[in-house]
Amino acid sequence: MEFVSTKRNKRLFAIFLSLCILVSCFSGCTLVDTSIFTQEITMQSDDPYMITTFKRTENGTGSRETYLEIDGDICSVELYYRSTIFVVQMLDPLSLDAEVLLSGTWKERNGKLILSIEEDYIWGNQYEHIILAPSSSP
């Protein structure tokens, strides 16, 4: 039996294709972004002590405050992460220089931020990882 292209077959195919597109548009799941990088969140690690808070700003970008315990003192530091790399820096308010304290790779797993330390300039390679978990207190 040979398929004969007729106006009726073309019209049925067009209706079927339109219905498929319509169903796919309305049957999609609603995606809720639960990434720790898009939420206002405070994350904390106790050993070593580190706390970071992300808040949205009026212009929609956001600001991050991070504190790290160094030699028994709580110091304000800058935490940067891009792609799979992170860097923790101490900013010198009297100059434009930034001292790198820690660097390495990061990943998000089960709602936690895991920093795998590759270069440690403050603790003498005492820690391999810093695991920051969501905290209820800022």
Per run of 10 residues, the mean pLDDT along the chain (length 138 residues) is 63 68 54 57 92 81 84 90 88 74 92 93 93 79
Q: Residue 33 has what pLDDT?
A: 42
Cα–Cα separations (whole angstroms), residue 126 to 49, 71, 100, 134: 13, 13, 17, 23
Predicted pLDDT at 3: 55
> pLDDT value at position 31?
41
The DSSP element (H or E) to which 85 belongs, if any, is strand 85-91
Provide the CB-side half-sphere exposure for 78 (13 A, CA). 12
Q: Is the pTM of this model over 0.85?
A: no
- Specify the pLDDT at position 128: 95
pLDDT of 30: 44
In the chain, domain spans? 41-134
Distance separating alpha carbons of residues 109 and 84, to the nearest angstrom: 13
